[in-house]
Structure 1
Amino acid sequence: MSARGALLGTVGGFAEEVMKTGLGPSHRHAVAGLVLDAVGNIVLGTRQPVASIAHRVARLWGDAGSATVVGRPIGLPPTGAAFVNGTLAHCTDFDDTHLPSLLHPGAAVIPAVLAVAEVTGADGPESLDAMLLGIELCIRLGMAGFDEERRNSIYFDRGQHATSLCGAIASAVAVSALLSGDAATITSAGAIAASMSSGLIEANRTGGSVKQIHTGWAAHCGVAAAQLAAAGLTGPHTVLEGRFGFFTAFCGERSVPQVVTDDLGELWHADQVQIKRYPCNYFTHAGVDCALELRARGVRPADVAGIELGVPEPALRTIAEPRAAKIIPVGGYAAAFSGPYTFAAALTGGGGLGVHLADFTDEAARRAEVVELAARIGCSADAECTEVFPRRIGTRARVTLRDGRVEEVLRFNDRPGLTYGVTGAELDTKFALNCEVFGAERSALVSAEIRALVSATSARSVMSLLRTEGKERKRGGSDQAE
């Protein structure tokens, strides 16, 4: 089988053609929206504990470089910058989501491309084209591991984090497309990254912060694999569908490998990516919307005798089990994967604003009024929500009040007719809130530069605005900027 006849070889050939001819303005404008969302999430992530951990370790790999680490004064080599920024893009669980693959494609691909585009001086349009190639491939790899009959991700059924696995290969293809644009090199980059793919999701169930670095590691692997391919290392062009390839290893016999290339260039799965409105697991969003509707109806926690959340049956494993860990999460990050906690936080929260980052600190996860309400919440499989899962994520909230009345509300995640599921104003507001640490004036400059990527602005001009003033303290002590 020739490289072009194999799946990844076909992708490599397509990527070469795209980088030669370029994509249209509509595609580039759409991807710029995903970049805006990702960068805002990265800035928000700079305030999380994992930011210092990731940065401290990345500095051990190379202490100086020309790729920006967001919120830091000194750059790192592109592999290190991609790791840190990729970690920050995902660590608050506020990153973009694709259904039904259940992937967060932008969080790995965008930081990887930004790091290399900054170092190489690539212009905005070609950077956006490379990003879209990577995002599309990431989703297609995820969709090839989607079981239509069971309506669930095979990766997740087997305890694997599809975003991390698919994101490494997708990032490698995107970065290699930017670096070389040569089909053979792009193919090898993706094949090399397939040997680096990893990520388990047990932390979703019982806690631990390791999942926060999964997209950072995928971005790091993508840059490293592309660099290795450019230096001459090769990989098997049958790495996806081969007897000992990616799909056999991670999905067994249930995968549908041909999805990777079906209608390639004609059907863009990336058009179906959704931008999150709440910084928590996407399975919980419809439940938050239910809680807000109930608040609007006048329901208050003190009125509640009991609540039953009907959710898609496959989602129970992530947001409802084990029950004790979901009622009293071990920390703020674990709380973002709890159906009872997120619902209780939204119902007890002020102003009808839903939930935001302040609800997912370790201190917030221990709030007595939220924990007490969460203990009155049960979760079960709802037939209607299960039937449409995971193309639509729904929650049916049935609330029994102390006076015997019952209130019921059904909500789904999707909002048809919107680009990436949000209005332009909502995206701008989310970005501004996420970038409050930078101040309004600087945030507006960053936003303008990102939107200008569709014409001529380079990634370098965007990333230069994301550094801070000062100097880095020496390794071995604190890694905070002075």
Structure 2
Amino acid sequence: MAVSREPAADPPHGEPPDPPLITTLARWAAGLRFEQIPPRIVELATSQVLAQLAAIRAGLRHSAGSALVAAFGPPRQPDPRRAAAVLGVLGSWLNLDDTAYAGHLAPSTVAVPLAYARSGGLDGRALLTAVVAANECAARITAAATLGPLRGQSALHTHLAGAVAGRLSSEGAPGDRWVAALSLAFAAPPWPMMHAFLGGDAKLLHVLPSIRTAMDACDAAAAGLTGVPDILEHPRGFLGRFATVPLPEVVTDELGRRWHTDTLSFKLRPGGPGVDAAVDCAIELHRRIGGTPIDSVEVAASAYTLYAGQQAAPYLAGPDTPLSALLLDTTYPVATALLTGDLTVADFDTPAVRDPARWALAARIRQLHDPAMSRELFCSVAPFGGAVRRAGERGVAWLREFVGPELAALAEPDRPAGGGRSTAHDGVPPEGQRFEESGKATPARVTVGLADGRSLSETRSVPLGAAGPQTRRQHRELVRGKFLAQGGSGPVADALGGLAGVAADRLPHLIDAALR
């Protein structure tokens, strides 16, 4: 949807105009040094690297991983451009990639620096600097367009910024080359077709065009080609096409002081963006149920979870459901977790996906909307609450159009959910929240009725691994467990936990060991 804008006001007499957004962002990112990154951000980025290596391992372990390797080659190949694309693809399609406010960052912001670190020359500090620089560029540009038609994994423009920044930081490229490469990359951002995204195997490749375009843009910039630096904010540019309510100011807001890496959420299990809390509840209930037969299941959740499931619903066909749609569904993952006590990559592959008991239980799951849970969601910084509050009344108007007036009213700061007291988990004020205190609430409550007459219920607001106080305390242990669950070794995980101290001659071998 195009956005009409008033012409930019002329700067006061004698003052130069502000530089384009890309110029300001690129110069800052190109000049970022490891010593300038706060220790907490270094620690989060270290966990992000290990978590994404686990996601890549998961992609290789699934049966579809062999088809991806046959098509594009192994993740460990000598050309870093090709290796970056393969690493990005393998680590994204099972929804095990880590996210932030805003965007699914790691398939580009981690995968590309890993490929270039593996080709030699980077030590652990340089790798982490590249990851943080890429996170900040990708998340800021994604946040500027969050109030629009594309979010989450469909916002493929995230990886244009993440891949350009990840490569150029790894190469120590000058700021002018960053400006040219980002401007060229955003000349033709991808716009996915959701029918193909959910109905077939196209989602397995969804990050590939963006990473390849970014690699081409970097090569073109190195050869001296240039783009238009105001491609983001120009009325006929990126935000004019990709944002219903553009927020150009967030691209450069508080660079070096506000870190989007603070908002990282770590995905510990496969599955879509809204199922994590429900699966956490189901796993806990499995322990309490024992072997008692289940008569009924009810899942209460926010509008976000229900919306994701509604997108997948037309493509559900039991065991023959396309994998991309199955990942967005709530019923199959919850049924699997109730019956097995876990949800793993193998549960989205044969033979598990053809288990009739899972589908029989999934068919009996009733889903309903809980207004208080939608209130919690809207009050979180991620996935889009921060953008709604930043936009003020424009953001609320966007939300009304997106979810309807009744649901949008839940985002109003003084409006109680369902007529009662708000249950917002972190007390987010209406003007936003410090990113280092941010959270991502995607709440759910799972209630089971058992054959012996008992009724058991579990509720969770912030899923395990999602941004919040628990994750800030425990992210190292959580991502280590994620890596080990995908077959990684303990000594390699421990070595990567000290990534900032890894020398350049050792780093390629450590990355290879993590992928082996």
TM over 0.5: yes
Q: Does 1:181 align with 2:233?
A: no
Task: Supply the distance in 2 between the matched residues of 1:179 and 1:425 (Cα, whole angstroms).
Answer: 31
Where does residue 476 of structure 1 map in the other structure?
none
1: CA distance, partners of 2:333 / 2:196:
14
| Aligned counterparts of 2:153 and 2:336: Cα–Cα separation in 1 | 28
Alignment of structure 1 residues 69-108 onto 2, 5 Å: 69-70=74-75, 75-99=77-101, 101=102, 103-108=103-108
Q: TM-score scaled to structure 2, two decimals?
A: 0.76
CA distance in 2, matches of 1:198, 1:301: 49
Distance 1:369 1:209, change over 3 A: same
Query: Could you tell me which of 204, 207, 211 is aligned with 2:199?
Result: 207
Hey, what's the Cα distance between the residues in 2 that align with 1:420 and 1:146?
A: 24
Name stretches of at least 5 consecutive residues in structure 1 with no aligned partner. 60-68, 148-152, 437-442, 469-482
Post-superposition Cα deviations, 1:358-396, rounded to whole Å, max 9, x if no partner, equal: 211143222110100111112232211211224410112
The DSSP-based 3-state class of the residue aligned with 1:308 is: strand
- Would the aligned equivalents of 1:331 and 1:362 in 2 still touch at CA under 8 Å? no
Following superposition, the deviation at residue 114 of structure 1 comes to 1.8
Deviation of 1:449 after TM superposition, in Å, equals 4.4
2:299 maps to 309
Distance, in Å, in 1 between the alignment partners of 2:122 and 2:221 is 19
Cα distance in structure 1, aligned partners of 2:98 and 2:473: 10
The aligned residue for residue 249 of structure 1 is: 241
**Among candidates 379, 385, 392, match of residue 367 of structure 2:** 379
Partner of 2:391: none
Report how far residue 322 of structure 1 moved. 5.0
Superposed CA deviations along residues 385-424 of structure 1, whole A, max 9, x for unmatched, are 2112244101122444556664443212346334457443
Partners of 1:198 and 1:420 in 2: CA distance? 33
Q: Say yes or no: does 1:31 pair with 2:45.
A: yes
Match for residue 217 of structure 2? 225
Structural mapping, 1:267-282, within 5 Å: 267-282=258-273
Residues 373, 35 of structure 1: CA spacing in aligned structure 2 closer, same or farther, 3 A cutoff?
same
CA RMSD in angstroms comes to 2.9
Deviations 1:178-206 (A, max 9, x none): 32432221111112221353252626984
Q: Is the 8 A contact 2:53 2:515 kept in 1?
A: no
SS at match of 1:276: coil
> Which of 145, 150, 154 is matched with 1:155 structurally?
150
Q: Higher mean Cα deviation, 369-378 or 329-338?
A: 329-338
Counterpart residue number, 1:457: 503
Contact 1:82 1:223 in 2 (8 A): no
Q: Percent identity, please.
A: 25
Q: Say which SS state the counterpart of residue 379 (structure 1) adopts.
A: strand
User: Shift of residue 310 of structure 1?
Assistant: 2.1
SS at match of 1:465: helix
Letter in 1 for 2:357: E
Q: Which residue of 1 aligns with 2:462?
A: 413
For 1:96 and 1:197, locate their aligned partners in 2 and report how far apart those are by CA, in whole Å: 22
Please list the CA deviations of residues 106-125 of structure 1 after superposition, one character each: whole Å capped at 9, or x if unmatched: 12221111222333512221
Further displaced range: 459-468 or 369-378: 459-468
Measure the CA separation in 1 of the matches of 2:19 and 2:471.
34
8 Å CA contact 2:57–2:515 kept in 1: the answer is no
> Which position in structure 2 is the counterpart of 1:471?
none
Asked whether the equivalents of residues 201 and 211 of structure 1 are also in contact (C-alpha less than 8 Å), the reply is no
User: Take 2:336 and 2:271, find their aligned partners in 1: how far apart are those partners?
Assistant: 12
After the TM superposition, which of the residue ranges 223-232 and 1-10 deviates more from structure 2? 1-10
Shift of 1:26: 4.0
Equivalent residue number for residue 445 of structure 2: 396
1:171 equivalenced with 2:185 (yes/no): no
CA separation of 1:83 and 1:358: change in aligned 2, threshold 3 A: same
Alignment match, 1:477: none
Q: Distance in 2 between matches of 1:204 and 1:427?
A: 32
Query: In the alignment, what sits opposite 1:480?
Result: none
Query: 2:126 — aligned with what?
Result: 126
| TM alignment of 1:254-293, pairs within 5 A | 254-293=245-284
For 2:334, the equivalent position in structure 1 comes to 343
**Whole-Å Cα distance in 1 between the matches of residues 190 and 235 of structure 2?**
19
CA distance in 2 between counterparts of 1:192 and 1:405 reads 61
The answer to whether 1:43 aligns with 2:57 is yes
Shift of residue 460 of structure 1?
A: 2.5
Letter in 2 for 1:127: L
Q: Secondary structure at the match of 2:299?
A: strand
| Cα gap change, 1:205 to 1:395, in 2 (>3 Å) | farther
Mapped pair 1:319 → 2:333: no
Deviation at 1:428, TM superposition (A): 1.7
Distance 2:189 2:492 in 1: 32
Which residue identity lines up with residue 435 of structure 1 in the other structure? G
User: 1:57 corresponds to which residue?
Assistant: 71
| Residues 451-460 or 134-143, more deviating | 451-460
The one-letter amino acid paired with 2:222 is A
Does the CA-based 8 Å contact 2:85-2:212 persist in structure 1? Answer: yes
Preserved contact between residue 274 and residue 421 of structure 1 (Cα < 8 Å) = no
Pair 1:358-2:350 in alignment? no
CA distance in 2, matches of 1:52, 1:196: 30
Shift of the 95–267 alpha-carbon distance from structure 1 to 2, 3 Å rule, reads same
Tell me the secondary structure at the aligned position of residue 242 of structure 2.
Answer: helix
Q: Is the 8 A contact 1:29 1:454 kept in 2?
A: no
Q: Is the 8 A contact 2:26 2:179 kept in 1?
A: yes
Shift of 1:55: 3.2
